[in-house]
Structure 1
Amino acid sequence: MRAAVVLGLIFSALGWWLLHQPVRPAPALIAGLASEGYAGAPCPARSLYEQDARKKRGPRADSAFAMRLREEFPLGSPSAALRDALSRQGFELFSPCANDENALGARWRGKNWGEPDAYVYWRIDPDEKLIFLDGHVTRAE
Structure 2
Amino acid sequence: MRLAAALIAFLALTGAAIWLFDTPAPVPELIASVRADGVLSAPCPARTLAEEKARLKQGASPPGALGEKLRKLFPPGSDAGPLEARLKREGFELFMACPNDDEVVGARWLGQNWSQPDVFVYWRVDGAGKLTFVDGSVSVTR
Instruction: Classify the secondary structure of the residue corresponding to 1:39.
Output: coil
What's the CA shift for 1:34?
2.3
- How many angstroms does 1:57 deviate by? 1.0
Letter in 2 for 1:121: Y
User: AA paired with 1:26?
Assistant: V
How far 1:131 sits from its partner (Å)?
Answer: 0.7
Sequence identity percentage: 45
Aligned counterpart, 2:97: 96
Query: In the alignment, does 2:109 pair up with 1:136?
Result: no
Equivalent in the alignment of 1:43: 44
CA distances 1:25-60 after superposition (whole Å, capped 9, x unpaired): 211111222221111000011122211111111111
Alignment partner, residue 5 of structure 2? none
Q: Tell me the TM-score normalised to structure 1 length.
A: 0.82
Distance across 2 between alignment mates of 1:125 and 1:30: 26
SS in 2 for 1:29: helix
**Which consecutive unaligned segments of at least 5 residues does structure 1 have?**
1-8
CA distance in 2, matches of 1:79, 1:35: 24
Runs of 4+ in 1 over 4 A off after TM superposition: 15-21
Which residue number in structure 1 is paired with residue 3 of structure 2?
Answer: none
Aligned to 1:113: 114
2:28 match: secondary structure: coil
Q: Deviations over 1:58-79 (max 9, x none)?
A: 1111100000001111111110
**Residues in 1 aligned to 2:72 and 2:19: alpha-carbon distance in whole angstroms:** 36
For normalisation by structure 2, the TM-score amounts to 0.82
Larger Rg: 1 or 2?
Answer: 2
CA distance in 1, matches of 2:132, 2:113: 34
Q: CA RMSD in A?
A: 2.7
Equivalent-residue separation in structure 2 for 1:65 and 1:135 (angstroms): 5
Paired residues, number: 134
Gaps of 5+ in 2: 1-7
